[in-house]
Structure 1
Amino acid sequence: MSDTLPILDKHSPDFPDVSRALRDPDGLLCVGGDLSPARVLDAYKRGIFPWFSHDDPILWWSPDPRTVFRTDGVHLSTKFRRKLRKSDWIVKFDQDFEAVIETCATIPRPGQRGTWIVPEMVRAYTSLHRLGFAHSVEVFSGTERVGGLYGLAIGQMFFGESMFSRVEGGSKVALAGLATALNSAGWPLIDCQVENPHLLRLGAKRMSREHYVADLEVLCRRPGILGSWANQMPTIQASSLVDIP
């Protein structure tokens, strides 16, 4: 694989232009480098993200089209909304980032037997959390964490990485709560990288890579919400999410 792909030098932060990404597999751009905070942040600003398994080198991707949510476009089914009306769940932010990423790493996505959230990735995103760029969204029923997600925030752009549910619907509420909070703050998009049927049912849309990268150039330069979100983002009652459009 590396014989046909650009190889990143650990001492150079430069990425190839995303237009050089392969069509098959869709979006594979280059290999190597490291997961230092500077390199990872630079990658996301350019529309690139790391994604690799235990036995792989670091692989960098920029698929076309990209899959995104508009923060006013997360869809919850009528049946699920009825369930939420009586729910005591609440959505909070940055309560325990390390617990969220570790849970995402240990609960495989539907249809997957393993995880791509290898220890190297856990260390990298935990470092970014400590620097104020990576954040967790957590859904609680009392003191029990029933769902959540984590991702990166740069400027006014949120890049979703992974979700989990310990109770059915937990990840949906985490996503809807995040979208509601970001929409109130004027953030228009949540990146979710590549599509799957579950995300499409929740309202995810396809965006050409060209348009996505153009939006990033604007959104990543806007003033964001710096530092921990624990006290800067609202606590959201899940029952209030029945009123989202």
Structure 2
Amino acid sequence: MIRLDENEISFPDPALYDGHEGIVAFGGDLSIERLWFAYQLGIFPWHNPDEEILWWCPDPRFVLYPNELKVSKSMRKILNRNIFTFTENKNFREVIKNCQEVKRKGQSGTWLSDKLMDSFIKLHEYGLAKSVEVWQNDELVGGFYGLQVGNVFCGESMFAKVSNASKAGFIHFVETHKNDLELIDCQSHTEHLESLGARMIPKKEFLKILHKSNERR
């Protein structure tokens, strides 16, 4: 495993380096410059806040092709009832704050440190990180955020305060952007996103799509 130099923004080529269980490097920092460079390479940070930074590019990769989105009949009925309304980039700070604070099954803490959260807020201010908000009766009840790299959306985290809120927001986002997004990177497997059509693909296939997306920018 390769240790990163805090004074140099570089990563091993994830196409050539498999690492351990998807970890391609450790160390470095969470500056906005390093984060943005990492995501363009298909690499993302994931670690406990009190531990050293780990940088991942798993193989296989969990993704969703927008044209493969699955919406159940029960979920379509919920969407048709218009019990939720949706916005984009209206309240990034509250979305990421809720993602940090939400209690998750099987997790005692959060991987979303204050430093990482601050860097994503800065990336949002530069127009690189985006949020989707889900509202019910003018209250923020769900949402998610991620980074847009060309026509690949790299999803980071989501939250829901009421049943089906995050799922409704995700479906709305995919259906709204299905013509301008080639792929949504979900990073690691969840049953929640698998039920919506996300699936595993080889790392090399993911990186090929991501690199082409970068070339078009």
Question: For 1:155, which of 135, 150, 158 is the aligned residue?
Answer: 150
Gaps spanning 5+ residues in structure 1: where?
224-245
1:60-95: CA deviations, max 9, x gaps? 000000011111222222122222222331111001
Q: TM-score, normalised by structure 1?
A: 0.84
Question: For 1:193, which of 170, 181, 187 is the aligned residue?
Answer: 187
Question: CA–CA distance in 1 between the matches of 2:141 and 2:69?
Answer: 19
Preserved contact between residue 79 and residue 168 of structure 2 (Cα < 8 Å): no
1:53 maps to 2:48: yes
| 2:108 alignment partner in structure 1 | 113
| 2:198 alignment partner in structure 1 | 204
Question: For 1:21, which of 14, 18, 21 is the aligned residue?
Answer: 18
Q: CA deviation at 1:120?
A: 1.2
Letter in 1 for 2:18: A
- Partner SS, residue 50 of structure 2: coil
Question: CA–CA distance in 2 between the matches of 1:42 and 1:53?
Answer: 21
| 2:29 alignment partner in structure 1 | 34
Question: CA–CA distance in 1 between the matches of 2:181 and 2:109?
Answer: 33
Question: For 1:97, which of 92, 101, 105 is the aligned residue?
Answer: 92
Instruction: Name the Cα RMSD after superposition.
Output: 1.3
Gaps spanning 5+ residues in structure 2: where?
none
1:195-238: CA deviations, max 9, x gaps? 12222112101111001111111112334xxxxxxxxxxxxxxx
Question: For 1:9, which of 5, 13, 30 is the aligned residue?
Answer: 5
Question: For 1:133, which of 123, 128, 134 is the aligned residue?
Answer: 128
Q: CA deviation at 1:148?
A: 0.2
Q: CA deviation at 1:108?
A: 2.8
Question: CA–CA distance in 2 between the matches of 1:152 and 1:221?
Answer: 17
Preserved contact between residue 84 and residue 165 of structure 2 (Cα < 8 Å): no
- Partner SS, residue 137 of structure 1: strand
Q: CA deviation at 1:21?
A: 2.8
Preserved contact between residue 139 and residue 148 of structure 1 (Cα < 8 Å): yes
- Partner SS, residue 220 of structure 1: helix
- Partner SS, residue 187 of structure 2: coil
- Partner SS, residue 16 of structure 1: coil
Q: CA deviation at 1:181?
A: 2.0
Q: CA deviation at 1:146?
A: 1.4
- Partner SS, residue 87 of structure 1: coil
Preserved contact between residue 156 and residue 221 of structure 1 (Cα < 8 Å): no
Question: CA–CA distance in 1 between the matches of 2:182 and 2:106?
Answer: 30
| 2:216 alignment partner in structure 1 | 222
- Partner SS, residue 67 of structure 2: coil
Preserved contact between residue 21 and residue 61 of structure 1 (Cα < 8 Å): no
Question: For 1:213, which of 187, 203, 207 is the aligned residue?
Answer: 207
| 2:68 alignment partner in structure 1 | 73
1:168 maps to 2:201: no
Q: Give the 4+ runs in structure 1 shifted more than 4 A.
A: none
- Percent identity over the alignment? 37
- Partner SS, residue 91 of structure 1: strand
Question: For 1:85, which of 70, 76, 80 is the aligned residue?
Answer: 80
